[in-house]
Structure 1
Amino acid sequence: MSALRQALADYLSVRRALGFALDRAEKLLGQFVTYLEQQQAEIITIDNAVEWATLPGGDGWWHALRLCAVRRFAVYLHTIDDRTQVPPPGLIACGKHRATPYLYSDAEIRALVQTATGLQNRFYATTFPALISVLAVTGMRLGEVIALDVTDFDAAAGILTIRAGKFGKSRLLPLHPSTAEGLRRYLTRREQLIRDKNLVDCGVFFISNAATRLDHSRVQKTWRRIRRLAGLAPRPGNCRPRIHDLRHSFAVSTLLDWYRRGEDVAALLPTLSTYLGHTDPKHTFWYLSAAPELLALAGQRLDAYLGDTA
């Protein structure tokens, strides 16, 4: 192991002890260290950091994100080796970026679930319909769903416990009775599959074909196959049907339902923020701009308020 790779392992260990997940940073910095090793570079310099960050592929936002990951690592390394150069903030200028969310219709979600049940792999044909359904009806992050253990589901009460979610926070998610029943059925089929294959049950909720925990890369690869077989295609404006957009769709659908029922959305928004695991309701407000219908309903509510105060 090179000195840089050992330093990266130490850096990740220190920051994770402070509560950071760093899944993306670990992947990016691992690629950066490989690049430095190939270049036979022993220290980080501004030049090699920028060269790697702006390698072909991606746009300005992606380049800036890569350089930001390197900069934090370089700040850490500089305290150990003062030869390390720290790229200044803002070296690659880029405005704030958000991918255009792909808002799934109920019909599209049903098509995805139905397609997943037809996968040839028996384990995936059992796991992925349940996994997609949970993402669609709870708005959970993919990482949170993958991290679930069987003991995190209170089948009697119909409650999921999210342990150590984003920013290390945990939360309880009460489920609709139909969702709880669907998860109970999944667990029955899951246990039968494990017995049929004489596998060890390690207690993870959503299992791979080895009855082990799913990883992000496998889920994303299978998701791309499911969405292709279901006939979902990108929409204009670089709007691709990502698995994370099931979370966006849940949030927008919830807000639309509240507006249509005449609920006090401003008062209810902190509840949605808590359910989604947002650190601040302002992050949930972003969903108001995610769908034209939401903007229209919000505008109508504002017009009515201004009319009453005129």
Structure 2
Amino acid sequence: MTAEHEFTSAFAADLDGYLAFKEKMGFYGASRIVYLRRFDAYCTRLGRTVFDRATVEGWVIDELQRSSTYRSWMSYIRDFGRWLHTHTQPGAYILSDQWKSSFTRAHPYLLTQDEIDRFFIAAARLEAASPWAWQAAAFFTLMHSAGLRTIEARHLLTDQVDLAGGHIDIIGSKGHRSRRLPLTADVIDVLTACDTTSRAHLGPRTPFFVSSTGKSVTPATVGVIFNRIWDHAGLARPTDGRQPRPYDFRHHFAYANLERWMTNGTDITAMLPYLARYMGHATFDSTYYYVHTSPDFMNAYADITASQSQSLLPEVGFE
């Protein structure tokens, strides 16, 4: 058994070597480790010792039996196979592209203003035996007001938060892109209160938002706290399959801006590059997706385009 990631299969040393290689390249994703641990456990359980087609595709088939919409995990085992082929095992099997599946976006839960108001009232009153007691409101306020990805809020460091200057720096996010985001006075006040309390209870810390052990908060914990606040706020849970998630604050940030610009008569074509840059999108395709998340926006958009000859949105995205 290797010490670093506690792999137990015949591929343990190579798995650790591969992950060390990825970290040197700047890839630290926890999801990769989770799925490679599953592969490792599968190989240990069945006694697999050769990285061949039967081993790799056998695990993929086993994993598909419990997978859901997203299948990006296939890229992890495919990439590991390439690494083995190049570095230690020239005969290692590389998962065929026939296993690639199309990406299906989860339909977001569209937060109403009433739900948002009630959520933050409950967040400010959260009782918890951890730093979440005072940092929950700040964490979700930042996601809501700046449209952050959950991972960006979780990985935010204290030296990336300039409360005096009124901005935060998102460093090396998705696609290794970085950006500086201005903060409103209200958000600065919320973050300042959180930071002051954290310093009083924990002293110097590196992550801005921390767990009880002083480390960055985990994705699972964020979801647990979000659901606890949602329930404490007395908010109903939908029955159509779509459930509210922390990431829906990012969706709300995007379409709320689009709807506000449309209502104010602002040229959305001109504003899309700013929204894309603020949200950290590589292309307009990702930003344009949010246009389709709001029924109110789409209905009004149809009325506008029916009466105007000029397109409100560009026909072609930009790099």
Coarse TM-score class (shorter-chain normalised): 0.7 to 0.9
Quick check: 1:224 aligned with 2:232? no
Quick check: 1:98 aligned with 2:98? no
How many residues of Structure 1 are paired with residues of Structure 2 in the alignment? Answer: 300
Query: 61, 66, 73: which one pairs with 1:57?
Result: 66
Instruction: State the alpha-carbon separation in 1 of the partners of residues 195 and 159 from structure 2.
Output: 11
**Structure 1 segment 10-159 matched on structure 2, within 5 A:** 10-55=17-62, 56-59=65-68, 61-62=69-70, 64-79=71-86, 80-91=88-99, 94-116=101-123, 117-121=125-129, 123-159=131-167
Unaligned 5+ runs, structure 1: none
Does the Cα contact within 8 Å between 1:269 and 1:284 map onto a contact in 2? yes
Instruction: State the alpha-carbon separation in 2 of the partners of residues 77 and 151 from structure 1.
Output: 38
The residue identity in structure 2 corresponding to 1:27 is V
Does the Cα contact within 8 Å between 1:232 and 1:241 map onto a contact in 2? no
Instruction: State the alpha-carbon separation in 1 of the partners of residues 158 and 46 from structure 2.
Output: 46
Q: TM-score, normalised by structure 2?
A: 0.85
- Superimposed CA distance per residue, residues 173-195 of structure 1 (whole angstroms, 9 cap, x where no aligned partner): 00112111221222222223x1x
**Structure 1 segment 280-291 matched on structure 2, within 5 A:** 280-291=283-294
User: Paired residue for 2:171?
Assistant: 163
User: Paired residue for 2:197?
Assistant: 189
**Structure 1 segment 2-17 matched on structure 2, within 5 A:** 2-17=9-24
Instruction: State the alpha-carbon separation in 1 of the partners of residues 67 and 235 from structure 2.
Output: 23
Instruction: State the alpha-carbon separation in 2 of the partners of residues 301 and 174 from structure 1.
Output: 31
Does the Cα contact within 8 Å between 1:206 and 1:213 map onto a contact in 2? yes
Does the Cα contact within 8 Å between 2:10 and 2:44 map onto a contact in 1? no
Q: CA RMSD in A?
A: 2.3
Query: 228, 231, 241: which one pairs with 2:244?
Result: 241
What's the CA shift for 1:233?
4.8
Q: TM-score, normalised by structure 1?
A: 0.88
Instruction: State the alpha-carbon separation in 2 of the partners of residues 40 and 255 from structure 1.
Output: 54
Return the structure number with greater relative CO, CA threshold 8 A, min gap 6. 1
Q: 1:52 to 1:157 in 2, by over 3 A?
A: same
What's the CA shift for 1:16?
3.2
**Structure 1 segment 253-292 matched on structure 2, within 5 A:** 253-292=256-295
Q: 1:114 to 1:121 in 2, by over 3 A?
A: farther
What's the CA shift for 1:129?
1.2
Instruction: State the alpha-carbon separation in 2 of the partners of residues 66 and 188 from structure 1.
Output: 40
